[in-house]
Amino acid sequence: MAFEESRLRFNFLEGHWEHLVKYDEEKDYRKLEQSIPGTKGVDFIGISNHDIFFFEVKNYRGHKIASKQKIDELEIIVAQKVRDTLGGIVGGVRNSTNREESWQQHLKFLGDKKKRLNIVLWIEEDPRHRQPKEQNIYSQILTQKLKQHLSWLSCKVIVANKANNPIIDKLQVDFLPEH
């Protein structure tokens, strides 16, 4: 299954994923967003093996200056999206008319301490924006800040990009041409 987000194509390899949803385009998310203005949601949710993954995608390639403030606030924005998504999943279990089984599976995984919740921030920047060593340090700092904001959740935080994809055996990502 493939999803497009922020000029990137995410190819979730067949046989590795279940209950994949492009969350922020789901009917149930839209209902929540209309009920509570300011509600946020992650981009994708999926289950792989014994893990559940929340993906948030940011592609700042070609937008260095305009996105500087957003990058500085990114860990808070992502933490809020995770929080709101958790509430949306519960609401989906209780009220969905179109994805009830997926929401139930997501909630089942979230409630099982033996299953791991992975929060993946997929962030692309211009290659010339940071040197590889500087990018690695930035990713480590961003990971630590996200872990602090999500410490109440007992989750694994992953900051990834096309050059550093720790789940390449399950997910392939390609750049899409600019329009």
The per-residue pLDDT for range 160-173, each reduced to its tens digit, is 999 999 999 999 99
Token pair, residue 13, equals 């390899």
Angle at 161 between CA 122 and CA 44, to 5 degrees: 30
Closest of 89, 88, 83 to residue 146, by C-alpha: 83
Domain count, the chain: 1
CA–CA distance, 38 with 61 (Å, rounded to integer) = 26
- pLDDT tens per residue across span 25-78: 999 999 999 999 999 999 999 999 989 999 999 998 876 545 555 666 899 999
- pLDDT tens per residue across span 132-151: 677 788 889 999 999 999 99
φ, ψ of residue 109 to 5 degrees: the values are -65, -40
CB of 86 closer than 8 Å to CB of 123: no
Q: What kind and span of H or E run contains 4?
A: strand 2-5
